[in-house]
Amino acid sequence: MVQAQDRRYSPQEYLELETQSEFRSDYIDGEIIPMTGGTPNHNRIAGNIYATLNLALEDQDYEAFVTDLRLWIPKKKIFTYPDVMVVQGEVKLLEGRVDTVTNPVVIVEVLSESIQNYDRDGKFRSYRTLESFQEYILIDQSEIHVEQFSKTGKRKWLLSEYEDENDTLVFSSIPFQMPISAIYKKVKF
């Protein structure tokens, strides 16, 4: 991500600009940050996760969303676009919006080299302020490596790592599991 300008914007100004923009941008407490383009591997991984989640959860009280649906994190004043989100029960939207979710249970991010530290630290810290948030999955697109952070209590998170394509990622907050090989299907290293 690259900083776009020195001017600070209100959330309302950002949302208006974002509605008219050809490209997506994140919003971090007054700053608008244009998002960089994705890679084929990034799209493959996000698509693999979303398609499998969507199919597995279709008859359950969960719904998966991919890339273009925005997330609002009120305590940090952040709008962002996670690669994949899962919501349990009713989707709660930011008042007056049809494109901004406020209650994800699971967030999946496919790591890009340029922003992976932000995804691991800054975003994760921000996501943890959401009451509904229970699980964070980080997927490396340059090698087989998946990090799973599962909430085990107030301010307690358990890290599990997967580096073998024969392993299975078992989600802790939703009834879903996926072979690591399926996450990386058609990915070229």
pLDDT 10s digits, 153-163: 999 999 999 99
29 falls within a domain: no
User: pLDDT 10s digit of each residue in the chain, 189 long?
Assistant: 444 457 899 999 999 999 999 889 999 999 999 887 789 999 999 999 999 999 999 999 999 999 889 999 999 999 999 999 999 999 999 999 999 999 999 999 999 876 666 667 789 999 999 999 999 999 999 999 999 999 999 999 999 999 999 999 999 999 999 999 999 999 999
22 falls within a domain: no
Instruction: Measure the CA–CA gap between 130 and 169, rounded to whole angstroms.
Output: 23
Q: How many domains does the chain have?
A: 1
Give SS3 for 10: coil
pLDDT at position 68 is 85
Instruction: Measure the CA–CA gap between 3 and 185, rounded to whole angstroms.
Output: 33
157 falls within a domain: yes
The dihedral built from the CA positions of residue 72, 90, 16 and 33, taken in this order, carries a sign that is positive
Q: 37-57 in b/e burial notation, b at 16+ Cβ within 10 A?
A: ebeebbebbbbbbbebbbebb
165 falls within a domain: yes
43 falls within a domain: yes
pLDDT at position 112 is 82
Range(s) of the domain holding residue 45: 38-72+80-183
pLDDT at position 1 is 45
CATH at residue 125: 3.90.1570.10
Instruction: Measure the CA–CA gap between 80 and 83, rounded to whole angstroms.
Output: 10
6 falls within a domain: no
110 falls within a domain: yes
